[in-house]
Amino acid sequence: MSDTTDMSKTGAEWLIHALEREGVDTLFGYPGGAIMPVYDALVGSSLKHILVRHEQGAALAAVGYARASGKVGVCMATSGPGATNLVTGIADAFMDSVPMVAITGQVPSHLMGTDAFQEVDVFGITLPIVKHSFIVRRAEDICAIVREAFAIALEGRPGPVLIDLPKDVANARAVEKPSTREAKRPLPPKLDAIQKARSLIRESKRPVLYIGGGVGMANAEVAVKRLFDQTRIPAVCTLKGLGSMDPNDRLYMGMLGMHGNPAANFAVQEADLLIVIGARFDDRATGKLDTFAPRAKVIHLDADTAEIDKLRYADVALLGDLNKSLDALAEPTTIADWQTRCQWLKTQHQWRYDAPGEDIYAPLLLKQLSELGGPDMIVSCDVGQHQMWVAQHCSFSHIANHLTSGGLGTMGFGLPAAIGAKLARPQATVACVSGDGSIMMNIQELATLHRYGIAVKIIVLDNAGLGMVRQWQELFFNQRFSEVDLSDNPDFAVLARAFRIPARTIERRDEVLPALTELLNSEGSRLLHVRIDAKSNVWPLVPPGKSNADMIEEKTS
């Protein structure tokens, strides 16, 4: 066999080879003209390609795959509209720090900049929402670029990386130019910072652990639980930190923020020290920032230097390896009075499930779903009222079991992310909780479920409207309801069956347990269409521009 046959491949063939070498087993995409050489090279490879029905579905499925597995998610699309359809998913990955490599076809090099057919400057379009971008100029560089892209996606604060591949480069033959690039390991925290942090903890009377999604990215959940168990410092979680704590522990206060548990919000407001672990003081968590934990000093643990002092001054910053930082702080504390206070707060502000009437009460349904599915069930949800109900009323044993679009708030996230999660962890039960507005954003991916036999259990909470927008218009816009009516929705059960997905509809409370049992025990995918009261609201709610201490709670007669 000649050297040319043995060592030379097309750029597209080197790309597939490089992905295989990175351990990629699954990628999500949609073919087209500029990416066609890569699809030709896919034939006969070890990669499982999932043909989605919209490129946004590919990007969000890659996000779900990455978040459920901890590996890099990979998506692929052609130039022009294929590339632009990936943008929302890339932005979602960027906002939630998800490792992703997005590969886009591009028009031939000599046509770039000429407004050629299906040409867009995807490099420029995505520049603010990626960790790094590559335009491949030579086929021999592709393997090194892929190696670099995966390392960048994973190291430090994870995020998406774009590889734009012109068609002529994909077709060109070359010999590999190898790379040995590896992801950089996080540095250990500085000893003087550790000593200062320990001193602050010893001096504090009312400390709180404030746990964010960075814990999951750093694989630091065991270390966080060890810190919690050794110190017995009361803990709260952000939306993306849910799953890092045992929800039944008497000193776990729940989620803080706009729709958080009042016990969590009150504990943070009374704290004299916040130990912030992989969180970024997001506005939905803090409310009015200058009123947030006003008497608390801050120890901030993070992998990203940019987050330190960005929104809240850190008295001590522990940068780098979260696991080492957490273990260095795991010392017993003497805060009995504060522990008693927090237990009392938790007792006073337990969720109630005794809503009157026969209508289906969404919080109770989601609590029952969580109990029936067990703590190892993965729940992927969309954005809106149901997203907050899931966060409040479902229990998770691991951060990777709660998939939600936090920073970007992407409607249409739930179904494709659930597809990615099920392919990443095929033995897990995966449920998608969506709303009647969100499910229509990527409803076409029901076809993907059927084609590949992917078993996702879908619950559509249907209030015939855009519930969260309607709630805000009711509370803050004098009930001037504008463009929130979705009463002309399709029959979602009939629609699912048109995609050959079994489905049923329920609307009474006594139907819930039998329907959920049937859903979870069924083979393959199934959709449960749940009609709920159009006027149901999510409580509590911190109004915009208000302190977390100023929560509006549901009025009871």
Reported as a single tens digit per residue, the pLDDT across 50-82 is 999 999 999 999 999 999 999 999 999 999 999
Which pLDDT band holds residue 86 (cuts at 50, 70, 90)?
Answer: very high
Q: Cα dist. 327→321, 331, 413, 445 in Å?
A: 10, 9, 35, 43
Q: Please report the pLDDT score of residue 5 as a whole number.
A: 45
Q: Which of the two residues, 2 and 459, has the higher pLDDT score?
A: 459
Active site residues: 55, 117-118, 167, 468
Reported as a single tens digit per residue, the pLDDT across 232-251 is 999 999 999 999 999 999 99
Domain boundary at 145, 175, 205, which?
A: 175
Q: Are strands 173-175 and 8-10 parallel, antiparallel or unpaired?
A: antiparallel
Both 374 and 484 in a single domain? Answer: yes
* pTM score, whole prediction: 0.95
Residue 542 in domain? no
Both 236 and 160 in a single domain? Answer: no
Q: Please report the pLDDT score of residue 187 as a whole number.
A: 82
Reported as a single tens digit per residue, the pLDDT across 263-276 is 999 999 999 999 99
Reported as a single tens digit per residue, the pLDDT across 525-537 is 999 999 999 999 9
Residue 52 in domain? yes
Which pLDDT band holds residue 405 (cuts at 50, 70, 90)?
Answer: very high
Residue 454 in domain? yes
Both 376 and 442 in a single domain? Answer: yes
Q: What is the CATH number of the domain that holds 310?
A: 3.40.50.1220
Residue 390 in domain? yes
Residue 241 in domain? yes
- SS3 labels along 8-73: EEEHHHHHHHHHHHCCCCEEEECCCCCCHHHHHHHCCCCCEEEECCCHHHHHHHHHHHHHHHCCCE
The residue to which tokens 């995505």 are assigned: 126
Both 337 and 381 in a single domain? Answer: no
**Domain boundaries, position 166:** 3-175
Range of weakest confidence among 3-7, 21-25, 207-211: 3-7
Both 92 and 126 in a single domain? Answer: yes
Both 243 and 344 in a single domain? Answer: yes
Both 162 and 207 in a single domain? Answer: no
How many domains, in total, are found in the chain? 3
Residue 552 in domain? no
The whole-angstrom distance between residue 456's C-alpha and the CA centroid of its chain comes to 17
Both 30 and 166 in a single domain? Answer: yes
- pLDDT at residue 3 above 90? no
Sort 478 into a burial class: Cβ within 10 Å, 0-12 / 13-18 / 19+: exposed
Q: Please report the pLDDT score of residue 2 as a whole number.
A: 35
Both 367 and 343 in a single domain? Answer: no
Reported as a single tens digit per residue, the pLDDT across 170-227 is 999 999 887 777 778 888 889 999 999 999 999 999 999 999 999 999 999 999 999 9
Question: Are the C-beta atoms of residues 175 and 7 closer than 8 Å to each other?
Answer: yes
Both 281 and 336 in a single domain? Answer: yes
Question: What does the block give as tokens for 472?
Answer: 């805000």
What is the dihedral sign for C-alpha 103, 155, 50, 12?
positive
Which pLDDT band holds residue 369 (cuts at 50, 70, 90)?
Answer: very high
Domain boundary at 295, 313, 348, which?
A: 348
Reported as a single tens digit per residue, the pLDDT across 324-361 is 999 999 999 999 999 999 999 999 999 999 988 899 99
Q: What is the CATH number of the domain that holds 406?
A: 3.40.50.970
Question: Where are the alpha helices (H) located in 314-426, listed in sequence order?
Answer: 322-329, 336-348, 362-373, 385-393, 414-424
Domain boundary at 117, 140, 175, which?
A: 175
Which pLDDT band holds residue 554 (cuts at 50, 70, 90)?
Answer: confident
Rounded mean pLDDT of 515-525?
96
Both 281 and 377 in a single domain? Answer: no
Q: Please report the pLDDT score of residue 183 as a whole number.
A: 72
Mean pLDDT for the chain? 95
Residue 92 in domain? yes
Sort 9 into a burial class: Cβ within 10 Å, 0-12 / 13-18 / 19+: buried
Reported as a single tens digit per residue, the pLDDT across 288-332 is 999 999 999 999 999 999 999 999 999 999 999 999 999 999 999
Both 245 and 99 in a single domain? Answer: no
Residue 182 in domain? no
Q: Please report the pLDDT score of residue 184 as a whole number.
A: 80
Neighbours of 410 (CB within 10 A): 27
Which pLDDT band holds residue 556 (cuts at 50, 70, 90)?
Answer: low
**555 vs 557: CA distance, rounded Å:** 7
